[in-house]
Structure 1
Amino acid sequence: MYKGQSGMWSWLLHRITGLGILLFLLIHIVDISILGFGPEVYNKSVLLFDQVIVRLLSLALIAAVFYHGFNGLRIMAIDFWSKGVRYQKSMFIGVLIVTILVFIPVAYYVLRPVLDWIFHLPSTAQVGH
């Protein structure tokens, strides 16, 4: 019986993140098609992206893109490097670490407006000159 080692988790996460990215692309196509209804309708629909839940979904998408991209490089290393299979587990751990390290500053940037609202921090936006 398969014990669920790093290769299985890598494969599963790669498929899930790939499907998540595909779902986003489909939603993006719908979003862009709203332009056909005029600028007012589009501008109202874009306001949705400033909601907290949508920011969290955006973070999930960003994490998926980072993981999927870094894991894709790991898969290429396994395929084209003669010692790739030997180091696949350590490369998987490396992919997870790099994904988290790259994701943290991006998460702060995406969540900064929410953090401003929750903790009443001074706004970073400059109003009119």
Structure 2
Amino acid sequence: MTAVQFAFLAGLTVVSAAIVAFTALVLLSARRIDGGPHLLAVLRARLGRSPYDLAEGNRWAFYVHRITGFAVFAFLALHLLDVGLYALSPALFDEVHALYSTPLMRVFECGLLFALLFHALNGLRLLVIDLADVGARAAGRLLDGVGVLTFAGTAAGSAVILWPVFAP
């Protein structure tokens, strides 16, 4: 591993640590402000849900939206730095971008794909809620749709991203 690749991986480690720290901060503030994270309430059956349970899903969507927004911003900043290496030296750029074909970086790309899909789809859901003034039940159904599309898109995209790792 060259010094440039090591520096890039160190930057990726710092970005990953910042995302983990931000996630911990969001979850700790959830515990302090909202009385604690109620993880199992979101997993209850969809039929016959109380308004509290509907609000619980939207609350967690808000937290995940904040976390994925920060993650996308952090990785975008790192990506701009590594693309900017081309202005310094194309060989340096190629050296850093050789890391993107490693299995660990492909797993990070799958995580980035999840963050991008959820943040974009949930942002569209929030626009629909604000502009169309839908009720709590419709907002819950839209959140279900965001979840299904996010996980389906992440699964399909991850299969493509990870294919070279598992291909014979």
Q: Indicate the TM-score class for this superposition, using the shorter chain for normalisation.
A: 0.7 to 0.9
Q: Which aligned segments of 4 or more residues in structure 1 are displaced greater than 6 angstroms?
A: none
Matched residues, percent identical? 26
Relative to the length of structure 2, the TM-score reads 0.65
Structure with more of its chain in helix, by fraction: 2
After superposition, residues 41-56 of structure 1 pair within 5 angstroms as 41-56=92-107
Relative to the length of structure 1, the TM-score reads 0.83
Which residue of 50, 57, 61 corresponds with 1:10? 61
Aligned to 1:105: 156
Query: Any stretches of 5+ residues in structure 1 without a counterpart?
Result: 122-129
The one-character-per-residue Cα deviations of 1:17-66 (angstroms, maximum 9, x if unpaired) are 10011011110111012113311111111101111111111111111111
Aligned to 2:142: 91
After superposition, residues 9-48 of structure 1 pair within 5 angstroms as 9-48=60-99
Q: How many residues align?
A: 117
User: Whole-Å Cα distance in 1 between the matches of residues 123 and 102 of structure 2?
Assistant: 31
Query: Any stretches of 5+ residues in structure 2 without a counterpart?
Result: 1-33, 39-55
Pair 1:65–1:84, CA change in 2 (3 A) = farther
Please give the secondary structure, in 2, of the residue aligned with 1:83.
coil
User: Whole-Å Cα distance in 2 between the matches of residues 60 and 52 of structure 1?
Assistant: 13
